[in-house]
Structure formats: C-alpha cells, structure tokens
A and B are shown apart, each in its own frame.
Chain A
Amino acid sequence: MTWDRRTEDRAAAIVGRYPEKRSAVMPLLYLAMAEDGYLSEDGMRRVAQLTGLSNAQVQGVASFYTMYKRDGVGEYLVSVCTSISCMLLGGDDVLDAVAAETGVADGETGEDGLFSVEHGECIGACGGAPALQVNYELIEGVTPDHGRALCRWLAENRPAVVRGDDLQERFGGRRSFDWGPVEAGGATGAVPAFGPLGTAGEGS
C-alpha cells in the first residue's frame, strides 16, 4: 500500500528530519491518521515499511499513546479534562454536559460519526480550568452550559477547520494566560494541528 503522492512526499520529508528513520514513527502515525481519519491497519503497515519496523512493533508504539485512535473517531473529538485542577472546578460536570448534549458517552463515538467524547487527563490548562479540547484545539474556562453550546454550534456549523481562538472566543472563559494574537490555523481532524503533519488547516 502507498499513499498519494503528496502524503508520500510529506512522509519522506518527515523521515528526513531524523538521524534514524525509526524516529519518524510518531509523526508518520499522525500522518496515517490524518489520511484515513483514524489509525487503520493499512496505515500502520505503511508506517512499518517506511521505518523498517515490523507491523507488530508499530502497533506496539501506536497503542502506547492515547492520541493514536485505532478505532474510528468522530469528526469532532471532544476531550474534557477531568484531572485534579479541572475536577476541582467542575470538569466532571462539563463532561456530563458534553455527553448529554451530543448523546455520546465518555469513551464513545456517536453513530453518525459526528462526535467522539472522552475524558482526558490534564491538558496543561489548569489555570483556565475547567478546560476541554476539540480535535486538540484548546478552550479554557468552560462551564457546562458553554460546553453544551459549543457542541450545539459544532453540530450546526460543521466547521471543516476547528480553530481554537474562534472557539475560545465564543465559548471559553478565563485563560491560563494571555494567548496573544489570533491564529489562522486550526485542526482539520482528530490529529493535532501541526504544520509538518499537514494538519494545521492554515490554507483553509
């Protein structure tokens, strides 16, 4: 199996950034996820070929990390922090609100494939607790009501690119610190929005 030309070029560029090709496994897994919307077996096979590992080894790496989703994942992955600081300020209620609004329970993906909901551990936004992420784009200072409204808005507007600044502006509250200027980029799927992965959605 191979990817299309653009993705293969990107993969080659990623491999080139490391002294040993095995190191490229993690970014390539993201690339594979961005390609298929989740981490497929074929995706892992391709990563194995590109890095000289066995498929089982690639699976061993992929399954170690929580962000490589080997089962299908919704268009919008909502990860609600319920670690200590967020818990203290109502993170559990935000999770409940999000689950209720989307009809998707913690750890599940909705049948229509629109939402996946999960509780997460600390996402480094404790100063703006409770916090959540949509496709890893952060929103801080979220109340249960805001959580509901956010999900409603996503369902109604179906943005192709999820922009953290935009969501924070609409549904967020207190921030851990001043984020600085609004950014153009955002996430195009349940993969962190990062230039070298081609997932930063900066063009759109």
Chain B
Amino acid sequence: MTQILTTRMEAHPSDSHTLGRYEDTGGYAVLRTALAGMQPDAIVAEVKASNLRGRGGANFPCGVKWGFLAPSRPRYLVINGDESEPGTFKDRQLLERDPHQLIEGIILSAYALGVHHAFIYIRGEYPRPARRVQRAVEEAYGAGYLGRDILGSGFDLEVTVHLGAGAYICGEETALLNSLEGRRGEPRIKPPFPAVEGLYAKPTIVNNVETISNIPWIVGNGGAAYDAIGPEGSRGTRMFSLSGHVNQPGNYEVVMGMTWRDFIYGYGGGIRHGNALKAWIPGGASAPWFVEEHLDTPLTIDDVAKNRSMLGSGAVVVMDETTCMVKAALRVVRFFAHESCGQCTPCREGATWLQQVLTRIEAGAGRDIDLDLLLDISDNISPGLAWPPAMTTICPLGPSAVSPITSIATYFKDEVAAHVHGGGCPLG
C-alpha cells in the first residue's frame, strides 16, 4: 500500500511534528538538493509531470495552475488551510502531525514560483494545528530553512501563519485573499484569477495544504513516479475523511481506483450496528449524494463526476437506514445558508429560503407543492440543475446548497412526501 503523506506520523506518533524527527526521517533533504542544484523551472516541470491535482476541492491540476502565474512581481503563495466543509478533517491531521512536510513543500514551491512571502491561512477553530505549524515555522527559521539566504542558496522566503475567524467561505480562494487582505471574506469575480491578480492584486498561487504536502515527495522522487501511482486522472494518493455511521471513521490515505464498497466496508469497517447503508456524501457537504446503486462505482475523480457528483474535498459522510433524509438535507442546507457571504442575491436569499421550506417540512408543516418549490428555488440558484452546476452566483457556494435538495428529490422523494402527509418524520 503506497503512502506518501502519512508515513511519518504513523511511524512516529509521538513526535512526527518536530523538526528533529522530520530531519531524522529524511526531511529537508529534498530541499537541500533542490536549492543546490535544481532550477526553479525544473521543479515546476516535475509538478506538471506528476499530474497532481489540487486537493482543496476543485481538483485543478497543480502544475497547470502554476503555469498561469503572471510574470510581474512580487508574487505570493498562499496555503489554504481553511478546511471547513462539513465532513472534512484531513488537512487538520497534516497540519498537526506533519507541519514540516508542508513547510518543506512551501519552500520548494516558493522557490519554483519565484515567491518570497508565503502565507498559511488556517481556520480560526484550529488553534492546535496553528500552534504546531507556528512552532514548526519558528523551528524552520531557526534552522535556516526559512528567512534570508536559505541554506546559503541566496533564496529568501518569509512565511506568515494567519488565523481565520470562523467563515467557511474564506476557503474559497478569492474570499481567502480578501480575508487575508483584511477585507470582508467575500469571493471576487473571476477572472482575473489569483494567478494573475491575487493577494494585493499581485500574482498569487493558492494551494491546499494536502496539495503542497505532496511536493517534497514529488520533487524527491520525480513527477513520473507520482504519475505512476493510481489511475489516470486521479494520480497519487489522496486523503479521505470518513465519518458518520461507519464503524471506523478517520482519515485514510488511499490510492484511488477502488470501489466505494471497498472503501466504506473495507476502510470504514462497514455500517454501525450492522445497519443498512442509506446514502453517503462522496466529497464534502457540497457534493450531491450517492446511494446504494453507486457502491460499485470506482472511487476516482472522473467516475464520481460521471455520476453527477464530485470527490471535492475528500470528505465521505455515511448515513445509515435510521437517518431522516429531510433532517440530513436540512442540516447541510443550514450550513450553506449560515456560511453564505451574502453578496449574491440568489445565494443570500435562496439558501435561507431553502432552509425555511425544509424546516417547515421537517416540522410537519410541509405542503404538496413544497418539493417543487424547493426544486424551483434551486433552479434559480443553479439553472437547469445540471452537473457540473450552472450558477446564477459568483462562487459555487450558492449552488452547493442545492446538492442536498436534488439528492433527496432524486432518491428520497417518497420520504419527503411522507413528511408532508404524515405531519413530520416517518422514522419518528
């Protein structure tokens, strides 16, 4: 079983986050070699060759994104550690348990991209990960891996750890940049993309924690080696956060390509109490749900997309037969309504309206027309209810609120009707 990201933390649970352990286990060796002998472009080439796709949710090829970086300077690298999508807790583990792996990835990436100031944006509710990263950054400064003239190479890099303050939307890269600039965390209109006009309107690369944590391995072993792992389109390993009604929740670093059945019943150890599986969210709260019929679908980026959902942030939330689908949908919709930044009319008003109608249905005050109303409101946020979603909004958060609606309308229509006609949840 190939492991890239979690080897050290599994082998050395007591101190995998320290500089000493990191160096002991080969850490910063890649950086030494790269700074001594590799041209920045060569690193970019390896990353391109690896076919590493971003792990923040959009699955965008990392090397391609790096290729869009506009020539002007200064440029910035921003690490997205805002991880807030319900079901997702993988970046937390990477931040807490192997921060130097991330920092080495940052230094290599910054060197490759001509960046001299990088930021690590960590969600506010993650003080422990932030402390560990901050300490690791200080260790790295102390050891000459950060600061001026790193390892005598002439390359300078500052790293600032920035704490969010409770706003999921700041995970969206342009909202994150606004937040980092001290503005309200509202997403920007794209284009311009951050690679052209990002932080302080300067060229900026935003990458996820997990994405960048892969960089030391890729630079050390070569892009081709990474590209040799896993099926086409889903290369490398990937962290999945498994939660809900499974016997063994947790983060799993896996090579993609297995079936969902293998993942949920194998890694997850099956459903609690031997219950039947009812549905699962395959890629974070914004992903449309899967049901039993998808169990033998391969767990790859493209296969999931073909089935009108997404691997998104790698969060798998499993719901067993005792789960009320209206309640579950409402809980997810409530999240998006709460997290809407509020600038787009359809998201601000629509998500709240969806929440209100679902609340009414859950409370047993639903009307026959309410499911159609839910779908029509959804259609006004995401026209055509197509996949990938069309949007009347600036960012995909608005359309995310639609996923649970289409999911229950597709697979659990009767259960919704039973709420309407039975004055509340039939499951009691």
Contacts and interface: CB of A to CB of B under 8 A. Distances in A.
Contact of B85 (A27, A122, A128, A183): A122
Given A64-B184, A127-B243, A84 B125 contact: no
Nearest to A52: B182
B128 A177 contact: no
B376 interface: no
Interface in B10-47: 13-17
Nearest to A26: B165
Contacts of B97: 177-178, 180
A58 to B, nearest CB: 9
B354 to A, nearest CB: 15
A135 B266 CA distance: 36
B128 A66 contact: no
A22 B182 CA distance: 5
Contact of A164 (B13, B128, B317, B341): B128
A137 interface: yes
A61 B123 CA distance: 16
A89 interface: yes
Interface stretch (B143-151, B230-238, B244-252): B244-252
Contact of A60 (B89, B180, B184): B184
B21 to A, nearest CB: 10
Interface residues of A, number: 61
Interface string B310-344: 00000101010001000110011001001101000
Interface in B337-357: 338-339, 341
A67 interface: yes
A51 interface: yes
A85 B13 CA distance: 26
Contacts of B251: 127, 176-177
B360 interface: no
A126 B125 contact: no
Contacts of B92: 124-125, 176
A136 B125 contact: yes
B124 A136 contact: yes
A121 interface: yes
Contacts of B183: 22, 61
A17 B119 CA distance: 10
A180 B135 CA distance: 15
A85 B277 CA distance: 15
Interface stretch (B59-67, B155-163, B296-304, B406-414): B155-163
A149 interface: no
Given A123-B125, A127-B249, A25 B182 contact: yes
B87 A122 contact: yes
A94 interface: no
B165 A29 contact: yes
Nearest to A47: B182
A23 B123 CA distance: 16
Interface string A159-187: 00000100000000010111111010101
A138 B128 contact: yes
A126 B124 contact: no
B178 to A, nearest CB: 10
Contact of A180 (B96, B124, B163, B243): B96
A53 B184 CA distance: 13
Interface string B112-142: 0000010000011111101100110000000
A20 interface: yes
Contacts of A136: 124-125, 127
B208 interface: no
A53 B163 CA distance: 20
Interface of A: 17-20, 22-27, 29-30, 51, 53, 60-61, 64-68, 79, 82-85, 87-89, 120-129, 133, 136-138, 164, 174, 176-181, 183, 185, 187, 192-197, 200
9 contacts: A19-B74, A26-B182, A87-B327, A127-B243, A177-B250, A193-B131, A194-B127, A196-B134, A200-B131
Interface of B: 9, 13-17, 74, 83-89, 91-93, 96-97, 117, 123-128, 130-131, 134-135, 160-168, 179-185, 200, 241-245, 249-251, 281, 285, 315, 317, 319, 323, 327-328, 331-332, 335, 338-339, 341
Given A83-B285, A127-B251, A176-B92, 4 more contacts: A27-B163, A66-B166, A124-B84, A176-B89
